[in-house]
Amino acid sequence: MSTVIDKAVEALAKRLPDGFSPVAKFVIEGEGSIIADAQGVRAGDGPAEVTLSADLDTFRGLFEGRVNPTVAFMQGRLKVDGPMMLAMKLGSALS
């Protein structure tokens, strides 16, 4: 497991202290993926109801609060696979 993913899990866990229901996946291009569900946030891969994909810089900005999720999506820097309502729920948690 990469230190990038470890740090991303730590940052995301702070943003989602109670986890996320249903299951969400964050794919950091070239690094790996993170799962957030009712049990919490952890490194891993698997099926999810909504998947957010972006490069490392975009996710770093999201997790640090410097990048607005809606703006990143509109600019094509953040891709969503799954229901937009779940992505918006995640976006609210990250903002």
Q: Is the pLDDT of residue 1 over 60?
A: no
**Selected residue with higher pLDDT from 65 and 23:** 23
Dihedral over alpha carbons 58, 52, 8, 13 (to 10 degrees):
130
Rounded average pLDDT over 85-94: 85
Domains of the chain: 3-94 (3.30.1050.10)
Of the candidates 2, 60, 65, the one whose C-alpha atom is nearest the C-alpha of residue 30 is: 2
Confidence of residue 91 (pLDDT cuts 50, 70, 90): confident
Q: Is the pLDDT of residue 85 over 60?
A: yes
Segment 9-64, tens digit of pLDDT: 998 899 899 999 899 999 999 999 999 999 999 999 999 999 999 999 999 898 88
Work out the widest C-alpha separation in the chain, in whole angstroms.
32
Alpha helices (runs of H) in 1-95, residue ranges in sequence order: 3-15, 56-64, 69-74, 84-94
pLDDT of residue 67: 92
What are 39's two structure tokens? Answer: 């049990």
